[in-house]
Amino acid sequence: MTESASVLIDITDSPAALNAQVGMVLERARWASQVYQRYDRDATLAITEAVARVAHSKAAEYAEWAVRETGFGVVEHKKLKNELSSLGLLDYYRNWDFVNPRIDEERKIIEIPRPAGVVFALAPSTNPVATVYFKVISALLTRNAIVFSPHPAALECCTDALDTLTAAAIEAGAPDGIIQVVRKPTVPLIEAYMGSDKTDVTLATGGSAMVRAAYSSSNPAIGVGPGNAPAFVDATADIKQAAQNLIESKSFDNSILCTNESVVITLQSVDDGLRRALKSAGAHMCSEEETDALRQYLFHERGFNVEAIGRDASWIASQAGFKISTRATVLVAPITKIGVDEALSREKLCPVLGYYVASSNDQAIAQARGLLRMSGAGHSASIHSQDAQAAIDFASAVETYRVVVNAPCSQGAAGFATNLPPSFTIGTGFYGRSSIGENIGPQHLLHWTKLAYNNDPAETMGDYTTTQVHHKGPLVKAPADGISGYGGGRSPQVAPQSSPVSQGAGSSQNISRDEIRQIIVEELRAALKA
């Protein structure tokens, strides 16, 4: 008994301890979300604006930090992504009203917005701070609380960014606890957050395994799948512009966005001209030997070589055993087939672009479909063409929900070179086994209660022009002496920021002696039964 007890003293990773810790963080978020839902639209926008401006002002600092910490990408490109996902995102949604009712007099329907409540969010290592900005601002616009778990490889820059955004939100009047961060993420801890009945929705961006775990958590989840975008350059395309778009996209942040092109597919009549245009735009056209060297370096029996993620073209070429001009930003690797037998037709989060020559438009479309069947279904594709019918034929055939036309796919599918909604979470819909096929945005973090009148013309709808949802404003500040349940109209009590016990969240909470004792008793009881 004594020996068993000594082994069980460290209980911080036990299921009971994890659930207790997670429950307190989410209970605090629940209180914050209920307070925040009392705010009107002006107050909500003011808070979001303050956060977006601080985020934008630190875009360069966090871009440099993310590259230094992860080793992925290009600083100036990450800076641009951080800017676009802060004030750029807010400006896109500024005129959307996520707070007040919508009135449709013709259909006699009134819609009242209902925020999700508590959002649990994941960020990938590839686009860490931009994803933090995007999800925090989306949550604030819709009056949700958000608990964030950064990727361990980008933990420091994401944690600092979240602390910065939290301070800005609170200073602007947001309730304490509206943004929280998991400071020591582990797989069991993340699973506990995703599976807790106090989590209203998980907003998952990351690897396929984590997204599948979010969907398997028993809670609502919004997740995405991998990309593997085909790019078709047909005989009517502006070849010079198509080449510039392809190189601009594939070199952007060293091709770390999942919306980047994987393989360019063209026709024999276009081949020679496109090769010349790609070289002029900054590509290195690989020889057969160099292509084989890339294939062997980038892929092994377990899949893609993660050392190459977000690295520049010169570094990848040197690792593969050949040299290229320092001016080259993309490695173009000609391939003769697309499918499971050709590794270079898989997703490549680095500036390596497969190059395939088809014999006809029909074969080009068939090969694009085959590429997406391997990976990337539902995600993105692009076409460079001046023929509207060709664009329709291509978009109707490929199983994706975004087809970018005559623009860089990396930026275009993410809404930064097109008028698609700007997003760093790309829904892959039914094709990609995802719940949503759109670019995810704040509109997906709330639902609408609908008042629907009798459609009989004789039934008159009430006059809602002067009605309003009563936004009562902030509650009094929550007491700081632990967490209590709901009851009698009292708010949960929130622990002070300086509390030393909680290991997983940025806003720590005190665990009472009774709670600790109960955890130990449960663990000992389980051990004795075993």
| Whole-angstrom distance, CA of residue 501 vs CA of residue 13 | 13
Helices and strands per DSSP (H, E), number in the chain:
18, 17
pLDDT at 476 over 80: no
Per-residue DSSP letters for 484-514?
---BTTBPPP---TT----SSBSS--PPPHH
Q: Which residue has the tokens 């499971």?
A: 340
The sign of the dihedral angle between the CA atoms of 249, 255, 259, 265 is positive
> Within 13 Å, how many C-alpha atoms sit on residue 444's CB side?
23
The single residue of 157, 158, 258, 286 carrying the catalytic annotation is 258
Determine the Cα–Cα distance for residues 379 and 268; give it in Å rounded to an integer. 27
Q: What is the pLDDT of residues 67-85, one digit of tens each?
A: 999 999 999 999 999 999 9
* Residue reference for tokens 């509390």: 499
DSSP state of 321: T
- Residue type, position 510, single letter: N
Distance CA 356, CA 336 (A): 6
Domains with residue ranges and CATH for the chain = 12-223+440-450 (3.40.605.10), 229-413 (3.40.309.10)
Token duo for residue 487: 């009851």
pLDDT at 497 over 80: no
Q: Give percent of the chain with pLDDT exceeding 90.
A: 73
Give the per-residue pLDDT at 435: 84
Q: Whole-prediction pTM value?
A: 0.84
Q: What is the chain's length?
A: 530
Q: Is the pLDDT of residue 372 over 70?
A: yes
Query: In percent, how much of the chain has pLDDT > 70?
Result: 85
Q: Residues 490-519: what's their mean pLDDT?
A: 38
pLDDT of residue 503: 33
Least-confidence region, from 187-191, 269-273, 348-352, 431-435: 431-435
**Mean local confidence (pLDDT), 227-253:** 97
Does the pLDDT of residue 479 top 80, yes or no? no
Catalytic-residue membership of 258: yes
| Strand blocks (E) in 381-525 | 381-384, 403-405, 446-452
The answer to whether the beta carbons of residues 401 and 429 sit under 8 Å apart is yes
Report pLDDT digits (tens) over 178-237.
999 999 999 899 999 999 999 999 998 766 666 777 767 678 888 777 899 999 999 999
| H or E element at residue 145 | strand 145-149
Q: Residue 220: its pLDDT value, please?
A: 81
Comparing 4 with 160, which gets the higher pLDDT?
160
Coil, strand or helix: which one is 265? strand
